[in-house]
Amino acid sequence: MVEIKTDASLDAMRASGRVVAEALEAVRAAAAPGVTLSTLDRTAREVLREAGAGSPFLGYRPEWAPVPFPAVICTSVNDAIVHGIPDGYRLRDGDLVSVDCGALLDGWAGDAAISLTVGRARPADTRLIGTAYEALDAGIAAAVVGNRIGDIAHAVGRVCRAAGYGIPDGFGGHGIGRRMHEDPGVPNEGRPGRGMPLRHGMVLAIEPMVIAGGGDDHRTAEDGWTVRTWDGSRAAHVEHTVAITDEGPRILTAP
């Protein structure tokens, strides 16, 4: 069931989205060679604490997970696509890191992700990350009243495939509201004109994921959470929470 939010609810979700944006910017500023992933998690926790917000990630345990997620951010490094657990790994010059963060404020969720390079960026990584953001922009541009879910999926997938990148099977965006994951699903590839019509008050997390090697296969690491590329190539993941409105897309997790 898809919940249609009121305009007041969208404003409340914007407040939680701002907290997510602030946490991600703090993590971006802290990411440097020698800094541990667990330090980045503590940085995000402090932003949430100061805002009086909770985390939809911490303690989250879907049916397939062997243990509850132990952090407030996901940190996916190099060949990790999504769901990386922050641990004692120290960032190295040239690492590619995708950071996913959520917040719960006054009963409403926000969810967004960024990808960045630590220190000196490889040109290939710059292109990979740039393509992920281009795909996100395309998906947001398609998130308008009168379009359908398939139009968003097609916009995202077209950008990724044109660049020669893979799209991990089975992963994509989702509805969001009182809970982090709601209906409908938002695939990262699809046919235009298909799927659920978009209406004012729908809120979607649009999240492109791209694999540098061009394949779509992936594997789950021994921790039961981290999803890695099958071929060992690097990946990027970006995301915004977006409201569908009669005035056009409203990015609720914009800085």
Q: What is the pLDDT of residues 11-30, one digit of tens each?
A: 999 999 999 999 999 999 99
The answer to whether residue 7 scores a pLDDT higher than 90 is yes
Mean pLDDT, the chain, rounded, equals 98
Contact 98, 115 (CB under 8 A): yes
Kindly indicate the confidence band of residue 68, based on its pLDDT and cuts at 50, 70 and 90: very high
Of all residues in the chain, what percent carry a pLDDT higher than 90? 100
pLDDT band at 1 (very low <50, low <70, confident <90, very high): confident
Band of pLDDT at residue 92, cut at 50, 70 and 90: very high
- Give CA–CA dist 149/139, Å, rounded: 10
State mean pLDDT over 91-96: 98
Cβ atoms of 138 and 156 within 8 Å: the answer is yes
DSSP structural state of residue 131: H
Mean pLDDT of the region 178-182 = 97
Mean pLDDT of 177-203: 97
Average confidence (pLDDT) over 152-164: 98
Given a cut of 90, whether residue 218 has pLDDT beyond it is yes
Rounded CA separation 140/244 (Å): 9
Note the pTM of the prediction, 2 decimals. Answer: 0.97
Contact 92, 104 (CB under 8 A): no
